[in-house]
Amino acid sequence: MSPERLERDLRALPVAWPPTPDVADAVVARLQAEPDRAAPVRVAWWRTKRAWRAALAALAAALALTAAIEPARSAVLDWLGFGAVTVERGEPDAPVRPLGAGLDLGDPTTLDRARAAVPFPVRVPAALGEPDQVFLDTALGHPIVWFAYRPRPGLPRAGETGVGLLVAQLEGRAEPLVEKTAGAGTTLTRLRVDGDPAMWLAGAPHGFAYVPPTGEARFDDRERLAADVLLVDRRDGVLLRLEGDLDRATATRIAASLR
């Protein structure tokens, strides 16, 4: 039987077809109906999570591929907003410690605050200028102002302190006790600095003793032993102490410049 003959026979068969529903009107009515806001929207979370993983994996692969090519890497970084960022690797910076830290000189402060805290004039040596670090020491019951200067030409680093020069100013006198603290191996030379009596101690390390205004002798047992020291009993009642790896002429010149 030919296909044409089969098609004619099928069309001629008596078939009872059901009535065709009005699909168009039903769809329009559904679209115009008020949506049910209380009905929750359910999302297959596992499908969403899988999709995000796939997207991130694809992005990582693309970045890894472009990172190997300089022009592509620069373009991607510019697009992400990191084009001007430079990443450097290195060791973290060590905390900055004040010059003279660890020498038990008191609390770090400023020159102005130190001057306001003591009852005696605090002078700066004109030969050196303002100190690199100032300390205020009150541990002995009366204030001592310490200056610390960094090593520089003319101020070599002292092995006992690690700084170029230490300058102390306090109320007191060194004359009554200076010979007792010199000890064996320390040479004591008496001289005058700008008319004031002074003592130059050099050689073996020694301690530091003085008489404050209270009249009670004091020995600073916290003090690390010092090598070369110039002590000046100034006429204004201030004891000046210079410590460093200096010769006597240099120490005398610096002390005289405090006038």
pLDDT per position as a tens digit, 56-69: 566 556 555 555 56
Could you tell me what percent of the chain has a pLDDT over 70?
A: 54
In sequence order, the 6+-apart residues with CB closer than 8 A to the CB of 222 are 104, 139
Residue 223 has pLDDT above 60, yes or no: no
Comparing 8 with 170, the larger pLDDT belongs to 170
Q: What is the dihedral of CA 231, 235, 239, 240, to 10 degrees?
A: -60
pLDDT, one tens digit per residue, over 180-212 is: 566 666 788 999 999 999 999 887 665 676 777
Q: Where are the domains of the chain?
A: 56-90, 107-256
Query: pTM of the entire structure?
Result: 0.60
CB-CB contact of 195 with 233 (8 Å): no
Residue 26, classed as helix, strand or coil, is helix
Q: Residue with structure tokens 């020995």?
A: 219
Residue with tokens 């300390």: 135
**Three-state SS letters, 131-191:** CCEEEEECCCCCCEEEEEECCECCECCCCCCCCCEEEEEEECECCCCHHHHHCCCEEEEEE
Query: What element of type H or E holds 197?
Result: strand 196-203
Q: What is the pLDDT of residue 31?
A: 65
Comparing C-alpha atoms, which of 240, 239, 235, 216 is closest to residue 166? Answer: 240
Total Cβ atoms within 10 A of residue 2: 7
Distance (Å, rounded) from C-alpha 7 to C-alpha 92? 90
How far is it, in rounded angstroms, from Cα 181 to Cα 242? 16
